[in-house]
A and B are shown apart, each in its own frame.
Chain A
């Protein structure tokens, strides 16, 4: 979609991206608080990292560890997540964005780019996605789909029965929901680290365009 050295993002992608970014932070923060009410592993997330209001105040008020507000966030955030996910998927498929920018991605090119990246020898070319990036985007899109489906199985285990059997039952769906969350958090860490390394990608996601095509940049500056 872009000329070499220039990164552009369509308005639909930018809206979808930022709504989803907000939704994911809400879902993770509130999800951690909900997890803390009944941990499936022998640890709890620190309260400061969770979303759902002051824990002590809620405990003092009526013995509720702030789970009510966390659930309210979670079941509001899910609509934003679903909407932004559908927007990004539909746009990606029908505009050709996925085919153009995220395909092809094969095991050989992934391995080549992955090894190069591991040795810090993979240059970032604005407007171009290497095989590792492509694989990462597919992986996170898949993880979010798993998140949504396992989340529905947990939210409505009776009305959607036997959906939970896909995950080995209700508890299985909780575990899958947790594992997919870990995957998304991992993606977020890598994603944010890379943005920190190449900040111009952030500019493109905010303003729609960034890069070094000199003439084009001058024109943009003049019109503003």
Chain B
């Protein structure tokens, strides 16, 4: 190998670094996307292994809880669906014994508890809120869901959809939240209820839930379908 060729090689290295820095096209190539997807699937497994069903998310004093909780969605606050308690029915499907739909009144009659936990958004911001509702675990037991199934999925009135692993669904802090800051859940935050899962990133907390299903097939997720990590635990 001659010294000239060495020099060329060395310049090649710096060129490679430059291309990487301006790597717009690189990121959009199918080959790169497929490698990144493989890493993301690997990270799903790592996170499932890291997840401890007994470890509680930190809770905070009431003084830390924010009253005016940040609104976040891909559409504006005024476009958030407005669900009417008179018409609303929560539908159940999949591996659930009792699939009768639930009214808001029936949901509110379930045993409830309150938690002050932190919502961590995938964008990087975080906010502490006071949430009141029914542990999803209690609801799933009540309707005779197959708790040996692998996943629980959610469909929402705004076209959103998400899904979580069964260990997270059974986690004691995973709530069907009916209240925020002691008030009935405001419309834009997901009335009649949203999933409040402090062991997941914010986008794994679906609002306006209209269907809950239990399945062994990994449920799709709105943002995971758009390239975000599926497990997204915190």
Contact = CB atoms under 8 A, between A and B. Distances in A.
Contact of A206 (B9, B24, B37): B9
A40 B223 CA distance: 23
B13 A206 contact: yes
Given A25-B17, A76-B39, A71 B228 contact: yes
A19 interface: no
A151 interface: no
A158 B199 contact: yes
B24 A54 contact: yes
A157 B229 contact: no
Interface in A35-76: 35, 37-38, 40, 48-49, 51-54, 57, 61-64, 66-69, 71-73, 75-76
B217 interface: no
Contacts of A25: 17, 20-21
Interface residues of A, number: 46
A206 to B, nearest CB: 6
Contact of A53 (B6, B28, B35): B28
A29 B21 contact: yes
Contacts of B74: 62-64
A53 B28 CA distance: 5
B33 interface: yes
Nearest to A65: B123
Nearest to B33: A69
Given A29-B21, A68-B223, A73 B36 contact: yes
Contacts of A64: 74, 223, 226-227
Interface residues of B, number: 46
B106 interface: no
Interface in B133-156: none
Contacts of B233: 156, 158-159
A102 interface: no
B10 A203 contact: yes
Contacts, number: 115
A166 to B, nearest CB: 14
B124 A35 contact: yes
A220 to B, nearest CB: 10
Main secondary structure, interface of A, reads helix
B1 interface: yes
A35 B227 CA distance: 18
Contacts of B51: 159
A171 B127 CA distance: 10
Contacts of A26: 20
Nearest to B227: A68
B178 to A, nearest CB: 23
A105 interface: no
A175 B118 CA distance: 18
B61 interface: no
A158 B55 contact: yes
Given A38-B124, A64-B227, A71-B228, A158 B58 contact: yes
Contacts of A52: 27
B227 A69 contact: yes
B212 to A, nearest CB: 23
24 contacts: A29-B23, A53-B27, A53-B28, A54-B24, A54-B27, A54-B28, A63-B74, A64-B74, A64-B226, A67-B123, A72-B36, A72-B40, A72-B227, A73-B36, A75-B40, A79-B39, A158-B233, A159-B51, A159-B233, A161-B58, A174-B124, A206-B9, A206-B10, A207-B6
Given A156-B50, A159-B52, 16 more contacts: A25-B17, A29-B20, A34-B124, A38-B121, A40-B124, A53-B27, A64-B226, A67-B123, A72-B36, A72-B37, A72-B227, A75-B40, A76-B35, A157-B120, A158-B233, A206-B6
